[in-house]
Structure 1
Amino acid sequence: MASERLDHHPGLLHRLRKVGHLRLLTQRRFGLYTLGNGISLTGSWMQRIALIWLVWEMTGSGFWLGMLATADMLPILVVGPLAGAVADRKDRLKLTRLCQYVLAGIAALLGILLFFDLLNLPVLMALAAANGSMIALSQPARMALVQSLVSREDVGSAVALSSVNINLARLTGPAIAGIMIVHFDVELIFLANALLTICFVALLGLIQIDPLPVRQPEGSVFTQIRSGVIFAFGDRGIRLLLLLLFLGGAGVRSVQELFPAFAENNFASAATGLAFLTSSMAVGAIAAGLTFGVDTSLNRLVRKVATSWALGAAALAALVASGSAMLDTALALIIGFFVTRSVIGTQTFVQLRAPDSMRGRTLSVHGLISRGSPALGALGTGWAFDHVGLTLPVLFATGLVLLAVIAGIPAMRALGNLEPGDG
């Protein structure tokens, strides 16, 4: 049962259960999953920093750093839709474990090749693409798995805690990798990631969930992908939030890629400013995850997401006009807070609105937009920055988000009484 508890330490757990949705961490299945996922995400961020370092050491080229990001991100365009169909047909827990085994193998291979001086740039890029493909394949299954680990009323809390996990890993992983790069051989980072990923697999092995009903194939895989896309954009609530996710991702979430430019404006040292802005945004994201409400009213979720995008866009517009390092830091925290609330709310809405038979495919569409829109936004805003500076592109992007939220108010009012999909 999703309500199964770890009751061996009643004093501590009794206190945890009273701290909002932190009580979910006392549930055996979700607690084990969250622990393992946090360990794995930390290793993934360590590996990401190590790859960036190696590419810079090999080439000294910003272009090749961009190619590394493309190799990691591009597979979701191809694999993402297929992954959603697979997640709706296969055992999501087993699929997640299988993908983690492969990711551990890729990390170990990177370390071994580097140790024997066999890791050249083409091989590194190929393995980065393979790693990105496995992440894209596992993402819908991992996201849809949440509903098998907690009760429906706890889905919002579970998504919020997952966001906290991601942002904690974003803080700790690069820090650990930086220390290891300075004091140890880089290949040890890849081997450490392989070990951490295997720990996640082991913890997944301790989780048991009730088997879902057997899903009969609905035609070919491409037919299933098409039906998932049609459902995602045919549902008025999901369509509205996916549109805001795309515009907010391109116009607000992409700001982190431009933090070096912001840092040069008001900080004595660009490197120090970058660290402050990045850390502040992560702290804001963690705060959003810890404070995200557990209300499962879909209509209120839509309004909460739209309001958060508007406030995040307004904070970004203030950031580009700021003349103070202290104000920059505070605004970065605010942006991280409201952007993360928007992302958590959108994923929660999709989790609750989509029926189980469509959940993996719908989440794959969500994942495609969630991961792709910041990259597109950074590319467009970065190009505009090179030609006209920072202020106009950012104000244009934030203005577009604010206009979309205002234009969406009638659609929000017309949604009616939205109901969750089947469990």
Structure 2
Amino acid sequence: MTKSRPNAAPSPASATPGKPPRPSGFVSLRTRNYRLFTLGQTTSVVGNWMQNIAVGWLTLQLTHSGTVLGIVTGARYLPVLLLGVWGGLVVDRHDTRAVLTATQICFAVQAAVLTVLSWAHLMTLPLLIVLMLVIGFTNTFDNPARQSLISELVDREHLANAIAINSTFINTAKLLGPGLAGIVIAALGVTPCFALDTVSFLAVIASLLMLRRGEMHPAEREARARGQIRAAIAYVRHTPDLLYPMVMVYVTGILTWEFPVSLPLLTTSALHAGPTGYGAAMAVMSAGAVLGGFVAVRRNRLSTRSLSVSAIIWGALICATALAPTLALAMIALVFVGSASITFNSSAKTLMQLGAAPQMRGRVLSIWSIGWLGGTVVGAPVVGAVGATWGARSAFLTGGLAAAGIGLVVLALVTLGPSATDNRPLRPGDTNRDP
């Protein structure tokens, strides 16, 4: 890169020919609608994580069983696994903001019911499982709607930046939520956590109602017809821009993104750190994800090839953590694991949003959520069984080998065969294929 002539104003033309100027790290936040959406979502995630911690604590108070805790957690993701693509189809057919507003109202009602039952000491295990199933059912619509709405709030050339910022703020909220929950539970019990979660949804609803429709970029809605779920699956299968990232998401979502299972096994059984060490490890990894988000927001080149490289690096870092001889070295490695995780996750979501036709976006993102979130229903027991059979380190190592392995396979496919996606900059002129 050359220096500008004296007294000459810098311009994009002064950059290296053929390369777009590096975007401002937080350029998407200049858009009013996106700022409102991000503020509301961040507030809600803090409340949601307070609820997650409180539900786990309440489950143990009711049953004193780790097995039952796993069942309660699985109930939250089971509907996404079974009904995810149908939820995406509903999003494709209806106004995205209206769907998202409806899901937030449902979440707020569910949280209010949790609050009342906990306050009145009427909570039972069956009721708790039903409420978790309600959350999971609502998530079948909320996940694709929330992801799709981002593309309607910002210009296309800022989509990658917007997704990375959203991931960064969410990970920051994940750092705050559990810590606040711990303080509140220690001082007042679980009920205030449920109450604060209820209030947090009001912030999201308010932000959605304040969006200026005239400044949005609504996608074309899909007309009702037969076979639209099969059409979406076939569309992904025959679109390499979507298929390769989706395969990587499914493999890593099932085997790698099982840190709630593999991390406590590693810290407590292999590194003998106890629950305090597990909490510190989660915090360190979340901090790394936040730091990684600040790097991801400045990326302006994404491709299937770069995503596969991200998977390889992420997997190698996980393997290094699994083999760390001491807790201190594992903690250092976990910072980089967290950073690599957000790089992979935000890049995969961006590629699928850019590669999907607008009228297919909800279903494509719902297929993504089945692998990334619903895969926990399958992956968590598998990773747990690996740890129980071959040792705690093997559970963590399984995730690392899976990520690195699928990354190497996809890298070979796009390098040796006709590449579906070159390493192109994310420009406003990019267009989608029609289904």
Give the distance between the partners of 1:265 and 1:420, measured in 2 at CA: 50
**Corresponding residue of 1:261:** 265
CA distance in 2, matches of 1:416, 1:77: 28
Q: Residues 47 and 189 of structure 1 are in contact (CA less than 8 Å); yes or no, is this contact kept in structure 2?
A: yes
The partner residue of 1:368 within 354, 367, 370 is 370
> Counterpart in 2 of 1:187?
191
1:97 paired with 2:108, answer no
Indicate which of 148, 161, 167 corresponds to 2:165.
161
Q: Does structure 2 conserve the Cα–Cα contact (< 8 Å) formed by 1:266 and 1:324?
A: no
Alignment of 1:88-237 (within 5 A): 88-209=92-213, 210=216, 212=218, 215=221, 217-220=223-226, 223-237=227-241
Letter in 2 for 1:290: F
8 Å Cα contact 1:355/1:421 also seen in 2: yes
Range that drifts further, 395-404 or 116-125: 395-404
Match of 1:68 among 56, 72, 75: 72
Alpha carbons of structure 1 residues 422 and 34: separation in structure 2 relative to 1, 3 Å: farther
Match status 1:350 vs 2:352? yes
Change (3 A) 1:359 1:248: same
SS in structure 2 at match of 1:383: helix
**Residues 186 and 398 of structure 1: CA distance in aligned 2, closer, same or farther (over 3 Å):** closer
- The partner residue of 2:47 within 36, 43, 47 is 43
Q: Secondary structure at the match of 1:215?
A: coil
- State the 1:422 CA deviation: 6.6
Using a 3 Å threshold, how does the CA distance of structure 1 residues 263 and 212 change in structure 2: closer, same or farther?
A: closer
2-structure distance, mates of 1:392, 1:34: 38
3-state SS, counterpart of residue 21 of structure 1: coil
CA distance in structure 2 between the aligned counterparts of 1:239 and 1:123, rounded to whole angstroms? 39
Q: Equivalent of 1:389, from 382, 385, 391?
A: 391
TM-score under structure 2 length normalisation: 0.87
Greater CA drift, 52-61 or 117-126: 117-126
Partners of 2:290 and 2:26 in 1: CA distance: 13
Deviates most, 64-73 or 389-398: 389-398
Q: Does residue 1:332 correspond to 2:334, yes or no?
A: yes
Unaligned runs of 5+ in 1: 1-17
Q: CA 1:245–1:23 in structure 2 vs 1: closer, same or farther (change >3 Å)?
A: same
Gaps of 5+ in 2: 1-21, 423-429
Paired position in structure 1 for 2:6: none
Q: Displacement of 1:346 after TM fit?
A: 0.5
Structure (1/2) with the larger helix percentage: 1
Deviations 1:182-228 (A, max 9, x none): 111422221211111012101111102347466352413xx111111
State the alpha-carbon separation in 2 of the partners of residues 126 and 191 from structure 1.
Answer: 19
Structure 1 position 404, deviation (Å): 2.5
In the TM superposition, residue 314 of structure 1 has moved relative to its aligned partner by: 0.9
Residue 421 of structure 1 corresponds to: 432
Encode CA deviations 1:282-306: one digit per residue, 9 max, x unaligned. 1111122111155555xx4212211
SS of the residue corresponding to residue 408 of structure 1 reads helix
Label 1:417 to 1:324 Cα distance change in 2 as closer, same or farther (>3 A).
closer
SS in 2 for 1:202: helix
Taking structure 1 as the reference length, the TM-score comes to: 0.89
Alignment-mate amino acid for residue 242 of structure 1: M
CA contact (8 A) 2:241 2:421 kept: no
Retained in 2: the 8 A contact 1:314–1:398?
Answer: yes
| Superposition deviation, residue 393 in structure 1 | 4.7
In structure 2, what is the Cα distance between the partners aligned to 1:81 and 1:385? 31
Contact 2:270 2:393 in 1 (8 A): no
CA-CA distance at 1:23 after TM superposition = 3.0
Quickly say closer, same or farther: Cα 1:336–1:213, change in 2 above 3 A: closer
1:230 to 1:136, Cα distance in 2 relative to 1, 3 A: same
